[in-house]
Amino acid sequence: MVYVNTMFLFLVLQHAVVTWVWGRAARDHGPYHHHPRHSLVVDKAALLRFKKGITEDPFSVLSNWNDSVHVCHFNGVKCDRNHHRVSQLVLNESQLVGVLSPFLSNLTGLRILWIVNSHLFGTIPREFSSLTHLKSLLLEGNNLFGPIPDSLSLLPNLKTVILLDNNLNGTFSPAFFSNCSSSFQNLDVSANSFSGEIPTEIGNCVNLWSLNLYNNRFSGVLPLSLINISSLLNLDVEYNHFSGELPTEIIGSFPSLIFLHLSFNKMKSHNGNTDLSPFFDAVRNCTGLEELEMAGMGFGGTLPASIGQFLGANLTVMLLQDNKIFGSIPPSISNFSKLRMLNLSSNLMTGTISDEMRVLPRLEQLFLSHNCFSGPIPKVLGKFPSLGLLDLSHNKFFGEIPESLGNLSRLSNMFLNNNQLSGKIPSTLGRCTELLTIDLSYNRLAGKIPSEISGMSGIRIFINFSNNQLEGPLPLELSKLEDVQEMDFSSNNLSGSIFPQISSCISVRLINFSNNSLEGKLPDSLVDLKDLESFDVSRNHLSGIISSKLNNSVTLTYLNLSFNDFVGTIPSGGIFNSVTQLSFLGNSRLCGIVGGTPLPCCKRPLCTHKRHLFHSRVFLIVFLIMTILLALFLATCCAFCFGCIVVVPSKKAQVVTEPTSPEFIHNIPRITYRELADATEGFHDKTLIGSGSYGHVYKGVLSNGTTIAVKVLHTQSSSSIDSFRRECEALKIIRHRNVIRIITVCSFPDFKALVFPYMANGSLDSRLYELPSNRLSSRSSCLTLAQRVNICSDVAEGMAYLHHQAPIVVIHCDLKPSNVLLNSDMTALVSDFGISTLLTPKGAAENLENSTSDNILVGSVGYIPPEYGLGSKTTTKGDVYSFGILVLEMVTGKRPTNDMFVGGLTLQHWVSKSYRHENIEKVVDAGMARASRDLSSKRKKIWEVSIGSLIELGLRCTQDSPSSRPTMLDVAVDLNRLKRDLCRVTKII
């Protein structure tokens, strides 16, 4: 009875309180007819309390959140149809800084909560369990930490949880999955720091259709309870530490699976890592599978003979590189009628490529490099109509290059180097008009270079026919390759002269004609090659005087004329002031002063035969002694090597008698930990040149005088280890003059370091902002307009290579001035691939819906494209946006995070408005504007046109819609044209 009376009294008091609140609300806000109107008052109070926890609102998204505005009209807020409750809170790309407030839990009518790509911190509030109507929770791209609260499992209507790209950590609690509702469909916690094993309770989420766990530190085996989730369409667990055998039983229970990504884990195949049949038998049940990615896992076995009969219906991507697969390619793989990308590189595969393979009508990229394939290259490859990249390098293919490859009208990249191919280069290759790169080096090709090579006029990156047995003259048709950047025909039997029309190759930067039998004089037209940086014609039969016009080349930094028959005095000035005597070895009739030292014959004109013979004998004795000592030294090094891992194989040791020319494939000697320690004085603080969350960078000098940069990573940080692995993965297979070159990697459990060439001019960021400043002003740079255009062009060329011409598609994901390095001649190189996205199929790289993403971070504030905040994954168009910001930053001298950009104003919006409505000098960097005031009216007009071109390019690249942005290939062409025009018109700006 007491209990009943108490309850009655409670209900009476509750009724009185509610009546008083309703009456107060009616007085304050007008007539109150529905109970939900009271909830809007609570909702408004909750949102205003959330606003109080926001310390920074750069775009003023919350500017109208105040008492005078109806809550349903707040920015980012939507109410339900009858305006009874707040149903949606969407604040994507708002860049809010503050805590994720637990007061949001008072929005009990909320169905959608999206705050993407901001700077919210703190933990996910446990109070969110009050949001019983919540269906979709997206908190991607913030700074949240801690575990996922178990209380989220109490939300009965929750369908989607997207928490990727935060700092969340800890383990998955079994309680989070224990009460998994029947509506739960999508979980994405990628790019965080979760660890431990996946609890078996995940099998309770029987209606889950997408599970993304990539880029974490999960370990153990995938729980067998996953077999309960028969509706799963997407399973992505790449870049973790999962182990055990390949999850055969689990995969076989997903008949609807479309995407299976297991790459870069520690799983092995069955029967002692030798048998792949059980796994592919299980995959047989996945009839709708489109993407199979299992790269870098180290599993062994052979591909089943029937693989194409049960896996080929819908498969578009199959990545199996960097494993221990052996045996041959089953002919049934030709049944993959929808396959766009096949990568079997870096395995142990043997045998031939069968002619029984039928046409793969949609194949765009075929990677078979670094295996042991042999036999002839099958003619059937010429019947793949969509093939854009063919990489058969580093195998044992022999015989002739099939003429049928000339039928590949869409082929843009061909790598047949490092095989045993013979015969002539087929003239039909001239029909491959879309070729951007071709590498036939290190084979046994003979005969003349076909004149039909002029058909490859689209080559923009390099043509490499070096280290073959080619003969005859250099074809005049080479002059039609106007856009080629690197040309290597070294180590052949070519004869004849270097034709003057070589100057038509106006974009060439590297020419290597060394180790041939070329005769005659060097053409004076070489000076017309405005971009030429490296010229090597050593070990030929060239003669005559060395033209003094070469000293007019402002770009030439490497010159090797050794072991020819040049005569006369070596010119002075320009390149001749920076070379050494090594550039002129073996030219006994040359005279002059090189590097401040007279050549021997200049000091003693009567160089008698006896004296010459004496010197030759002394040189031979010294040569033999040095060879023996070097051999002993190398033997000792091999016996006591510390085990540093070298990314690319080194050449056999040679006595250096002439300078080493820049190569396409850099062969670097092995470097030990002890050598790194000695080079950096024990990693002393005085050699420290940079540091960050990843670790430290030291400047070092090797015993041979080579200056290097050593990037030592924090081995205690899992993100640093992942960054180390990702950067190695990218840099070991990409090579371009505008992409940083990795020398070697040293890896131990407690020490990991990457070794790069030292960049004398530091980063672009340090050159842009050299002078001191306060937060409210930007610093002016001493970079000239021409230097800025050249640097932009260099970066564009490097990015175009990564997106369109590299063996894999590389999306950088963090392009900004601090990740662009400048060498001694101010050439720009793209660096820092620690968070890049790799192995994205070309066909999907431009597709927002189908693109894959394995990035650790989205990027840096100010350079992140807007579409990433809407849930889109990384694409090449995201890099284009970042590049556009970089261009505008170089023009204006203002960072995109400058304090002036507030209230919704961004760098690109400010530039667009100011450029079109004010004097152009109001936009450009102060230092560059001052330099322009002394120009004549004609040159000032050229200056304004050039600045305008850069601004328009930057604005085009930073358009909100990815489809409206150009590709990096288009950007590179535009900048190359601007650079060329600027160079032709003036040398002063």
Tell me the binding residues. Answer: 711
Reference 419, options 376, 480, 366, 356; nearest CA is 376
Tell me the three state secondary structure of residue 13.
helix
Task: With beta carbons less than 8 A apart as the criterion, state whether 319 and 368 touch.
Answer: no
Sign of torsion over alpha carbons 126, 131, 133, 139: negative
Residue with tokens 């790309």: 93
Residue positions counted in the chain: 989
d(C-alpha 278, C-alpha 295), whole Å: 18
Directed axis angle between helix 785-800 and helix 937-957, to 10°?
30
For residue 119, the one-letter residue type is: H
Tell me the three state secondary structure of residue 169.
strand
d(C-alpha 141, C-alpha 870), whole Å: 11
d(C-alpha 345, C-alpha 348), whole Å: 9
Residue with tokens 């049944």: 335
d(C-alpha 575, C-alpha 532), whole Å: 12
* Secondary-structure breakdown of the chain: helix, strand, coil percentages, each rounded to the nearest 5: 35, 20, 50
d(C-alpha 917, C-alpha 912), whole Å: 9
For residue 280, the one-letter residue type is: F
The one-character DSSP state at 62 is T
814 catalytic? Reply is yes
**Known binding positions for ATP:** 711
Enter the tokens of residue 70.
């109806």
Sign of torsion over alpha carbons 377, 382, 385, 391: positive
Number of C-alpha atoms within 13 angstroms, CB side, residue 150? 8
Reference 509, options 662, 731, 734; nearest CA is 662
Directed axis angle between helix 785-800 and helix 968-985, to 10°?
150
d(C-alpha 13, C-alpha 986), whole Å: 88
d(C-alpha 599, C-alpha 577), whole Å: 14
State CA 918 to chain mean position distance: 37
Residue with tokens 């530190």: 217
Of 814, 832, 879, 974, which residue is the catalytic one? 814
Which residue numbers are catalytic? 814
